[in-house]
Amino acid sequence: MRNNGAVHGAFRSAAMRFFSPRALAAPYVVWMAAFVVAPIVFVVIYAFTAGDGAFTVGNFAEMGRFVGVFARSFWLALISTAVCLALGYPAAYILARESGRVQRAAVVLIMLPMWMNFLLRTYAWMSILERNGLLNRLLGALGIAPLDIIYTPAAVVIGMVYNFLPFMVLPIYSVIAKIDRSLIEAAADLGAAPRAVFTRVIAPLSLPGVLSGVTMVFVPAVSTFVISKLLGGGKEILLGDLIEMQFRGAAYNPRLGSAISLVMMVIVIVFMYFMNRFGEGEEGVAIL
């Protein structure tokens, strides 16, 4: 019966291997394979096939008609990202200099609007920017001529900046707030003027936050389809509208829609790749 212990031990280690902690990730791996990887495989298949199932690159050739839409989407997304950065960086920087209590309150105040439905907030901008809207009536009361903003690209940019500004402020703020105070003091002690402290210490150290913010604003801005519809009036469509039309709209053509989605996915990945190379590390953490 000396063997018994060994047999038992072998059984136990086999059981341990089966129930190893790694197994905790098994359901997740299966889930992600089924609902993240498989859908992308379908997008690729649809993008490269014709209606009869034969291989084709015709769907990509057809996209040539929409060069204008691509250009407009990228242009508006770039402007929005630049405006978000121009407003968001100073805001994050100023915020990081406030006392701890003010900082915490401000972070909550910046996140709170996200709890109001974003379609509704965008819709509220219509009441503000309309021809006879609240802004123009306010300007009228001050004796200033009314502005024609609604249904112009400017309105779309305002909508994008409004919706995505928190995604720029928060990552930059969280990086600046974590900067070691002694580095700033050391720079000042060693004779750096406030401007030099900023350009040589704070700005380089906040770069990961900036990159994360730029990505988090640019990707949704280039792919939005609601903001352009509501504030742009739907006259000049963007990439998101174009994709939506291929799947749910009158122009039903999922193969063309898949091809456009695939191109967009590749562009986003390339964009992310350069952003990550630029300011190595910190990605996953800064996203939250």
Q: Which 217-246 positions form the footprint of other proteins (CB under 8 A)?
A: 219-220, 222-223, 225-226, 229-230, 240, 243-244
Specify the residue, 3 or 25, whose C-beta has the smaller distance to other proteins.
Answer: 25
Beta carbons of 190 and 163 less than 8 angstroms apart: no
Beta carbons of 55 and 44 less than 8 angstroms apart: no
> Does 76 help bind other proteins (rule: CB under 8 A)?
no
Q: Which 200-219 positions form the footprint of other proteins (CB under 8 A)?
A: 202, 215, 219
- The count of C-alpha atoms lying within 13 angstroms of the C-alpha of 163, restricted to the half-sphere facing its C-beta, is 30
CB of 153 to other proteins, least distance (A): 19
Among 10, 14, 19, 71, binds other proteins (CB under 8 A): 19
According to DSSP, the residues that pair with 55 across neighbouring strands are 49
CA 210 to CA 93: how far, in whole Å? 11
Among 124, 139, 144, 270, binds other proteins (CB under 8 A): 124
Q: Which 135-154 positions form the footprint of other proteins (CB under 8 A)?
A: none
Q: CB under 8 A: which stretch of 50-58, 61-69, 142-150, 164-172 binds other proteins?
A: 164-172
CB of 196 to other proteins, least distance (A): 14
Q: CB under 8 A: which stretch of 2-10, 54-62, 141-149, 181-189 binds other proteins?
A: 181-189
Among 188, 192, 207, 245, binds other proteins (CB under 8 A): 188
CB of 155 to other proteins, least distance (A): 13
CB of 40 to other proteins, least distance (A): 6
Closest to 265 (Cα-Cα) out of 277, 253, 273? 273
Q: CB under 8 A: which stretch of 21-29, 49-57, 61-69, 141-149 binds other proteins?
A: 21-29
B/e letters for 215-229, b = 16+ CB within 10 Å, e = fewer, are bbbbbbbbbbbbbbb
> Does 259 help bind other proteins (rule: CB under 8 A)?
no
CB of 260 to other proteins, least distance (A): 9
Specify the residue, 1 or 26, whose C-beta has the smaller distance to other proteins.
Answer: 26
> Does 181 help bind other proteins (rule: CB under 8 A)?
yes
* Token output for 85: 């950065």
| Total chain residues near other proteins (CB under 8 A) | 101
CB of 92 to other proteins, least distance (A): 10
> Does 74 help bind other proteins (rule: CB under 8 A)?
no
Q: CB under 8 A: which stretch of 51-59, 64-72, 145-153, 178-186 binds other proteins?
A: 178-186
CA 141 to CA 135: how far, in whole Å? 10
Q: State phi, psi for 49 to the nearest 5 degrees.
A: -125, 155
Torsion of CA 97, 162, 259, 41, to 10 degrees: 50
CA 51 to CA 58: how far, in whole Å? 11
Q: State phi, psi for 55 to the nearest 5 degrees.
A: -65, 140
Closest to 125 (Cα-Cα) out of 227, 220, 224, 218? 227
CA 180 to CA 140: how far, in whole Å? 49
